[in-house]
Chain A
Amino acid sequence: MSRLSFILRALSTALIELIVPVLAVLTGFVVFALLLFSLDRSPVEFASLIWKAGFGSAFAWENTLLRAAPLILLALCVALPARLGLVVIGGEGAMVIGGLTVAIVAPYLAPTLGVTGIVILSVVGALAGGLWIGAVGLLKSKRGVNETIASLLMTYVAIAVLNHLVTGPLRDPASLNKPSTLPVDTAFTLPGMNALNVHAGLWIGVVACLFFWWLIARTSLGFGARIVGANRQAAQWQGLPVSSLIIGFSFAGGACAGLAGAIEIMAVHKSANASLASGLGYSAILVAFLARHDPRAVLLVAVLMGGLEASSGLIQRRMDLPDATILVLQGVIFVVLLSSETLRGRPILGQSLTSFRHIVPGLHNKAATGAST
């Protein structure tokens, strides 16, 4: 009897976990549709263009997965530290540093190395990104430096270093219009996957997600991390190595982002230049939050977001909208998603709404006390 009710409760919890983000995305789309309406654009056309350019054909899927590959790894850079309660948003910087390091190291490797070279470069990129965000974790645990601000500041530093190196010391004299480093040897181009014309970086992302899901859900290390995320003080009292966990998970997240940069260099850009800072690191923040920092869900959400990113160009051309359109849509979904957090958990709808009363003078009463801060 109690077992049945336990199962029912677990099921309903799981259902709510799923329904809330899905509803948030739908609501976000509705709000965005109203915006399009007010601009005399057809939301139906918008949706059909996303479908067409993101998921409608084999070519569309290629484009989508090409963007999903870095998004998966970049979202892990948000999701892994988030399991310990950290809000790291500097994945973009770790990706830039990872890609840049690969472009620096690649010329020193003999092209005859082949696949071994690809592995070395991937490890180098991951290491660079890992140290970059690992430093954020170190500052957080040793000095109490706010990880959100620090990681974003470091992204600006990373982009400045990238611009400095590709326009100055590392510039390939042959790159005229777009200052770039020397191109990475074709021997180190990431091989493609069989069926689709997408590079193997997607598989790396899939493997990384499954590995980190296993690490968090099935190992004592992951259990420790979840305890730190739930209550850092309790974790400290339990004797858990809180500092090491924070630094380690930050390193792991950064390594994923650095790997994303390495893959972008080896498979897409071929040399480091300004396009390495593509902004995907920011889209990945939304991916991780939508996935509720669950690596399995990251896979699914990253593919959906990849489709959205892939359709951006077509939407711009066909509907005569600015390139920031997708940014606005992502922002709207993000805001709605975060607001929907209030629907989660014990209290029901009504209570959280009363907290609005404080804003209107006179309406303030004891009912507002239920709202936490």
Chain B
Amino acid sequence: MTGVELGWWGVPLAMLAGALRVSVPFIWVSLGECLTERAGRINLGLEGTLVLGAMSAYAIAVETGSPWLGVLAALLIGAVWGALHSSLCSLARVNDIAVGIALMLLGIGVAWFVGKPYIQPQAPDLPALSLGFWSDIAQLQAALTISWLLVLGVFTAIALHIFFRYTTLGLIVRTVGDSHDAARAMGYSPLRVRFWSTVCGSAMAGVGGASLSLFYPGSWNEGISSGQGLIAVALVIFARWQPLNCLWASLLFGGAGALGPALQSVGISEGYYLFYAAPYVITLMLLIMTSSPQGKLRGAPLELSITRH
């Protein structure tokens, strides 16, 4: 029964498929940023890390033939980029937001520079997990073919939730994020905690990039990411710095991002590009709604420069 005509049911189905695919980079980047921001630092450069991760994953997958080595490469390059961000921010009087912008631009530049020869060759895709075997509707099977990186992302979100809530190390990270002085008084080095939080967070963003180039859309070109990293950073504010909320917010966003292509698939092509603007507009609305005139955000790490005036 492959020829089932779904009609308008195709729209929610395509949005479900979108939620399960488009959301993967959002999940990884927002979890990474969540970890970094919980330690009291903001890394605006994750858009660059995402593009860099996408490029290195693709390049390594092409060179070695193994997509999982590609994911590992993206993880490592993300960690390196995070280490760079964090080292620079550790210097006195160096502003984390400005460094983030610089590393975003440099990361995109380096990715385009190094990745130029890899636009043509085809890299092996990451293996997929088929959850639609119980149904004989082809479209549903296609929608439920998900990335292993989504599964890993869900586990990471749960792990991060447990980490913050129930572990000593998580408590230390939160303490550093809430009060530099309190953490120091307890004998912890805020800079060291922030360094490793940024490194790990940036590595996660690199994995998000790998899912872009190796699963969905599954190719490498210069337009592979258009602000997904930035949206994910904004999502963390909406998610009130809670890893599980980051997960839900990302899934929601994946679905919203798939609205344009979904409507196009049922023949509505009017205002095609405007639907591309939808995720940015929605993010902006969420930012407006979740911000507050006093600049104090509920649930925000107190040391975060984004909430200080």
Contact = CB atoms under 8 A, between A and B. Distances in A.
Contact of B106 (A154, A289, A332): A332
B155 interface: no
Interface stretch (A56-64, A184-192, A217-225, A354-362): A354-362
A358 B187 CA distance: 12
A319 interface: no
Given A358-B195, A371-B191, A289 B98 contact: yes
Interface residues of B, number: 63
A156 interface: yes
B99 A335 contact: yes
A347 B92 CA distance: 10
A369 B294 CA distance: 31
A373 B274 CA distance: 41
A163 B112 CA distance: 23
Contacts of A369: 184
Contacts of B93: 341-342, 344-345, 352, 372
Contacts of B230: 149, 152-153
The interface centre, meaning the residue of B102, B189, B195, B231 with most chain A CB atoms within 10 A of its CB, is B102
Given A156-B277, A160-B274, A148 B44 contact: yes
B87 interface: yes
Interface string B231-267: 1011001000000000000000000000000000000
Interface size class of A (residues with CB under 8 A): 35 or more
A253 B109 CA distance: 26
Contact of B88 (A330, A338, A344): A338
Contact of B288 (A145, A167, A334): A145
Given A148-B97, A324-B113, A156 B226 contact: yes
A289 B276 CA distance: 31
Given A160-B273, A164-B271, A373 B113 contact: no
B113 A327 contact: yes
A143 B102 contact: no
B273 A168 contact: yes
B291 A355 contact: no
A89 B90 CA distance: 23
Given A87-B97, A339-B88, A156 B227 contact: yes
> Which 3 residue pairs of A and B lie closest in terms of their CB atoms, listed nearest first?
A331-B106, A327-B109, A160-B277
Interface of A: 87, 89, 139, 142-146, 148-150, 152-154, 156-157, 160-161, 163-164, 167-168, 232-233, 282, 285-286, 289, 321-325, 327-328, 330-332, 334-335, 337-339, 341-342, 344-345, 347, 351-352, 355-356, 358-359, 361, 364, 368-373
Interface of B: 40-41, 44, 84, 87-88, 90-95, 97-99, 101-103, 105-110, 112-113, 116, 180, 184, 189-192, 194-195, 226-227, 230-231, 233-234, 237, 270-274, 276-277, 280-281, 283-284, 287-288, 291-295, 303, 306, 309
15 contacts: A87-B98, A142-B293, A144-B293, A145-B288, A153-B283, A154-B280, A156-B277, A160-B274, A232-B309, A322-B113, A327-B106, A338-B102, A339-B94, A355-B90, A355-B91
